[in-house]
């Protein structure tokens, strides 16, 4: 007798990092429900995104494909350059729906076109708001009172309660949080006030060996992020001002994430109470990582570890091993492949990832990937300085993200980055010796052979994924 098809709960946050989860080793933040998910499922230690930007990352999650396949390269921040999710590239909710699943989407979506493949959807327009947010419910605008993170959980629970109990469900459950402006619920406003959050090792980076990073230095939290805080004391010197912003910024992120954790717990409790937990695949992740003071920055986009790495927790008791820690390299193109595999649905040719279902049981395929490919396409150099009149609401380009197109390859030890929009400019890092990526060794004769090998690897991955001119 074939195994029953699992229910699917896919949970995604915006700009969350593995470094802000207790189960990943943070002793300060309170995330009992994320930790519970890790303890009862699998914690992936090496999960990565393909493009550290909201819209393309979300399109990749839905399709299991890179940007050049699904058609979303950036955040469509220019009024005359709105990108379309290719209608010929199927999403995993569409495929599940066609196979008899009931499908729902609640929370943040951040793709310009209406969602595809969902019986029910209720999403933020654009970035959405934290308080009394507007939603678009199956095409109709509504407004709900309260805090967005709580409301998103309310919508998820309402969907689950109204579901057809004779069919499996897939609920895509996505929080706006902890996206800027990092706004916690009032009940969490004083949380973490008494703790001092340590600074990352690269906090005082001088960018001495990395030209592109130096030129992007206006994305530092103590420069362009300062405008978020109208209560910043005026009598602080430069060092004191920087310290105040860092502590406030990180505490607000922790507070906002605590709200996410609470509301994840509400839905996990529902699965337990309804006897659904054993038959439900739960995946928790984020669209990409984020700088939390590393290199003195906030935001994402770069191929550096803080924004390349993403949290990934997965639990499916019917086919899983509780408390397992997986070291294999996972990429967000793998989510769709895994979901379809466990649902017994053949993945179309457009799905470029691999199912990590065996890893949930502690089984490591011998042919698992040894290197990951990253491709960032948006030309923020060109956008920098553009006036508001050139930008479309609600995606106005509002911060100085000065980063050009780049791509790269990462192995378990080395990373090579090509900034192809800036001429022939490369970075190479030995991650074992330099985990904070402070020292570009591209021109070091000691690594010439390794650099040449990684260039070949990069070209091979581009050819493999079809990302060539």
CA distance 421 to 404: 6
Q: How many helices (DSSP H) and strands (DSSP E) are in the chain? A: 12, 14
Closest to 317 measured CA to CA, from 34, 103, 99, 37 = 37
Structure tokens that stand for 316 in this block:
């499916």
Beta bridge partners of 309: 48
pLDDT at 332 exceeding the cut of 90? yes
Closest to 23 measured CA to CA, from 305, 309, 313, 359 = 313
Measured between alpha carbons, how far is residue 212 from residues 114, 209, 435 in Å? 36, 9, 19
**pLDDT for res 392:** 40
**pLDDT for res 167:** 97
The β-bridge relationship of strands 169-174 and 7-13 is parallel
Per-residue pLDDT band for 4 (boundaries 50, 70, 90) equals confident
Average pLDDT over residues 336-353: 98
Average pLDDT over residues 207-220: 85
CA distance 4 to 389: 54
Maximum Cα interatomic distance, the chain, rounded to a whole number of Å? 72
Average pLDDT over residues 355-376: 96
The β-bridge relationship of strands 414-419 and 406-410 is antiparallel
**Tens-digit pLDDT profile for residues 83-114:** 899 999 999 999 999 999 999 999 999 998 99
pTM, two decimals, is 0.94
CA distance 33 to 27: 15
The β-bridge relationship of strands 140-143 and 134-137 is antiparallel
pLDDT at 364 exceeding the cut of 80? yes
pLDDT at 82 exceeding the cut of 80? no
pLDDT at 390 exceeding the cut of 70? no
Measured between alpha carbons, how far is residue 57 from residues 23, 333, 335 in Å? 24, 9, 12
Beta bridge partners of 142: 135
**Tens-digit pLDDT profile for residues 15-65:** 999 999 999 999 999 999 999 999 999 999 999 999 999 999 999 999 999
Closest to 400 measured CA to CA, from 421, 385, 420 = 385
Per-residue pLDDT band for 403 (boundaries 50, 70, 90) equals confident
**Residue in this structure with the two tokens 């502690």, named with its chain if needed:** 362
Is residue 9 a contact partner of residue 314, using CB atoms and an 8 Å limit?
no
Provide CB contacts within 8 A for 234, sequence distance 6+: none
CA distance 434 to 426: 17
Is residue 103 a contact partner of residue 118, using CB atoms and an 8 Å limit?
yes
Is residue 245 a contact partner of residue 221, using CB atoms and an 8 Å limit?
yes
DSSP label of 7: E
Beta bridge partners of 143: 134
Query: Which domains can be identified in the chain, with CATH numbers?
Result: 7-465 (3.40.720.10)
CA distance 98 to 446: 55
DSSP label of 220: B
Which tops the pLDDT comparison, 372 or 223?
Answer: 372
Using DSSP, state whether 217 is helix, strand or coil: helix
**Tens-digit pLDDT profile for residues 406-465:** 999 999 999 999 999 777 899 999 999 999 999 999 999 999 999 999 999 999 999 999
CA distance 223 to 214: 14
**pLDDT for res 96:** 98
Closest to 397 measured CA to CA, from 386, 412, 381 = 386
Between 100-109, 141-150, 335-344, 386-395, the lowest mean confidence (pLDDT) is in 386-395
Structure tokens that stand for 244 in this block:
């105040």
Provide CB contacts within 8 A for 34, sequence distance 6+: 21, 22, 23, 261, 264, 284, 311, 313
Is residue 360 a contact partner of residue 41, using CB atoms and an 8 Å limit?
yes
The β-bridge relationship of strands 120-123 and 414-419 is unpaired
Is residue 343 a contact partner of residue 96, using CB atoms and an 8 Å limit?
yes
**Torsion angle defined by CA atoms of residues 203, 207, 212 and 217, in that order, rounded to the nearest 10 degrees:** 50
């Amino acid at each position: 007798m074939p195994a029953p098809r699992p229910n699917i709960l896919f949970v995604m946050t915006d700009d969350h990092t593995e470094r802000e989860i207790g189960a990943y080793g943070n002793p300060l933040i309170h995330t009992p429900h994320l930790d519970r998910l890790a303890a009862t499922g699998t914690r992936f230690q090496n999960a990565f995104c393909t493009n550290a930007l909201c819209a393309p990352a979300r399109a990749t999650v839905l399709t299991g494909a890179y940007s050049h396949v699904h058609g979303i390269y950036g955040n469509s921040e220019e009024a005359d350059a709105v990108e379309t999710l290719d209608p010929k590239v199927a999403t995993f909710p569409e495929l599940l729906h066609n196979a008899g699943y009931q499908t729902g989407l609640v929370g943040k979506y951040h793709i310009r076109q209406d969602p595809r493949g969902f019986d029910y959807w209720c999403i933020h327009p654009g970035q959405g708001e934290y308080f009394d947010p507007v939603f678009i419910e199956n095409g109709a605008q509504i407004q709900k009172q309260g805090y967005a993170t709580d409301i998103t959980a309310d919508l998820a629970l309402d969907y689950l309660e109204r579901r057809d109990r004779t069919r499996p469900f897939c609920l895509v459950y996505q929080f706006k949080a902890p996206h800027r402006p990092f706004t916690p619920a009032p009940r969490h406003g004083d949380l973490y006030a008494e703790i001092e959050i340590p600074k990352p090792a690269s906090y005082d980076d001088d960018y001495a060996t990395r030209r592109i990073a130096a030129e992007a230095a206006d994305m530092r939290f103590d420069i362009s992020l300062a405008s978020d805080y109208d209560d910043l004391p005026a009598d602080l010197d430069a060092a004191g001002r920087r310290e105040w912003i860092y502590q406030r910024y990180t505490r607000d992120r922790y507070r906002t994430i605590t709200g996410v954790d609470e509301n994840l717990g509400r839905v996990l409790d529902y699965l337990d109470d309804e006897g659904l937990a054993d038959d439900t695949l739960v995946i928790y992740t984020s669209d990409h990582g984020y700088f939390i003071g590393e290199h003195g920055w906030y935001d994402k986009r770069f191929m550096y570890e803080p924004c390349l790495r993403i949290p990934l927790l997965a639990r499916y008791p019917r086919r899983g091993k509780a408390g397992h820690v997986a070291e294999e390299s996972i990429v967000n193109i793998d989510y769709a492949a895994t979901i379809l595999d466990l649902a017994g649905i053949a993945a179309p040719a457009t799905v470029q990832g691999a199912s990590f279902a065996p890893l949930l049981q502690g089984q490591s395929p011998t042919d698992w990937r040894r290197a990951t490919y990253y491709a960032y396409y948006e030309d923020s150099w060109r956008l920098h300085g553009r006036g508001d009149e050139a930008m479309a609401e609600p995606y106005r380009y509002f911060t100085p993200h000065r980063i050009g197109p780049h791509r790269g390859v990462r192995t378990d030890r080395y990373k090579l980055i090509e900034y192809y929009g800036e001429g022939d400019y490369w970075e190479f890092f030995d991650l074992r010796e330099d985990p904070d990526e402070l020292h570009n060794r591209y021109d070091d004769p000691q690594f010439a052979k390794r650099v040449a090998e990684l260039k070949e690897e990069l070209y091979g991955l581009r050819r493999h994924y079809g990302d060539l001119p």
